[in-house]
């Protein structure tokens, strides 16, 4: 998405919608898998901030997302980079602007019977522009991006801190632990899954499937139960 509220099929950061994406949706349906439309934008050069402070752009964005999402079984909003340089009242305004957008989108999606997932920076990250408590009241699910702390594998104590903070503000059954595969080992994956289990989270989210090695899959099979 761009700052004017237009949905894009190619982004400036290299992500794009594959030409044959419909075939993926068809195959997912054959296996009974639910799919979500991911909408991604970062606050590079203020793009996301500009979107969230422009009412016509927000209205356009919500309308476009809801219309396109009818092809899927939900929406995953991945709006990254908010709150890095903000403090005090400025940070409060940033948080309120994002919560306002999510609320507008959620109401429209509920009318279309489509759930809303938010992929958010962790509460203990450098990006503090996300009001977990209010967002947890609006969204159906929140994926905690508990990574990019600067060490590999991701420090278990920081991941634990992120999960504890989020769980204090959002019902655990709405929370999913995001795991960055390039930052992990087969052994550390088990630790991260254990944290999600300990706090009774909804599950885990792996970024991304194409990077999961055979050894990692083997580790996951020892500690993850798939729900049908």
Which pair of tokens denotes residue 27? Answer: 């195959």
Phi, psi at 5, each rounded to 5°: 90, 15
Strand, helix or coil for residue 16:
strand
- Relative orientation angle of helices 88-111 and 55-69, to the nearest 10 degrees: 40
With a cut of 60, say whether residue 189 has pLDDT above it: yes
**pLDDT digits over 198-222, tens only?**
999 999 999 998 999 999 999 999 9
Here the tokens at position 221 are: 């099979």
- At residue 228 the predicted structure's pLDDT band, cuts being 50, 70 and 90, is low
**Is 205 within 8 Å of 177 (Cβ atoms)?**
yes
Around Cβ 223, how many Cβ atoms within 10 Å? Answer: 15
Is residue 15 very low, low, confident or very high in pLDDT (cuts 50, 70, 90)?
Answer: confident
Three-state SS sequence of 152-215: CCCCHHHHHHHHHHHHCCCCHHHEEEEEEHHHCCHHHHHHHHHHHHHCCCCEEEEECHHHCCHH
Check whether 124 has a pLDDT greater than 70: yes
CA distance 180 to 143: 12
Q: Which two tokens stand for residue 199?
A: 């706090």
Show the tokens assigned to 171: 């019902």
The pLDDT tens digits of the residues spanning 74-88 come to 999 999 999 999 899
Say what the pLDDT of residue 44 is: 86
Q: Measure the CA–CA gap between 64 and 218, rounded to whole angstroms.
A: 40
Say if residue 141's pLDDT is above 90. Answer: yes
- pLDDT band per the 50, 70, 90 thresholds, residue 13: confident
Q: What is the mean pLDDT of the chain?
A: 96
Residue 105, pLDDT score: 98
Angle among Cα 51, 53, 57 to the nearest 5 degrees reads 45
**Above 80 in pLDDT, residue 155?**
yes
Q: How far is CA 51 from the centre of its chain?
A: 18
pLDDT tens-digit map of 19-67: 999 999 999 999 999 999 999 999 988 999 999 999 999 999 999 999 9
pTM given for the model: 0.96
For residues 148 and 228, the model is more confident at 148
Band of residue 130 on the pLDDT scale cut at 50, 70, 90: very high
């Amino acid at each position: 998405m761009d700052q004017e509220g237009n949905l894009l099929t190619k982004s400036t950061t290299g992500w794009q919608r594959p030409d044959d994406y419909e075939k993926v949706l068809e195959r997912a349906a054959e296996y009974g898998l639910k799919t979500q439309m991911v909408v991604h934008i970062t606050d590079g050069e203020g793009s996301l901030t500009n979107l969230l402070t422009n009412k016509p752009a927000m209205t356009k964005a919500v309308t476009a997302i809801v219309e396109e999402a009818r092809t899927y079984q939900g929406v995953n909003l991945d709006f990254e980079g908010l709150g890095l340089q903000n403090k005090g009242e400025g940070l409060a305004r940033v948080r309120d602007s994002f919560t306002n957008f999510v609320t507008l989108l959620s109401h429209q999606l509920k009318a279309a019977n489509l759930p809303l997932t938010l992929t958010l920076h962790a509460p203990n990250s450098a990006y503090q522009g996300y009001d977990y408590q209010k967002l947890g009241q609006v969204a159906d699910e929140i994926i905690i991006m508990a990574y990019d702390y600067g060490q590999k594998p991701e420090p278990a104590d920081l991941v634990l801190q992120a999960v504890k903070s989020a769980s204090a503000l959002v019902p655990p059954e709405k929370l999913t632990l995001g795991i960055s595969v390039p930052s992990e080992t087969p052994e550390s994956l088990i630790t991260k899954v254990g944290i999600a289990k300990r706090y009774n989270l909804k599950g885990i989210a792996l970024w991304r499937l194409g990077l999961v090695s055979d050894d990692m899959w083997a580790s996951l099979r020892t500690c993850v139960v798939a729900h049908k």
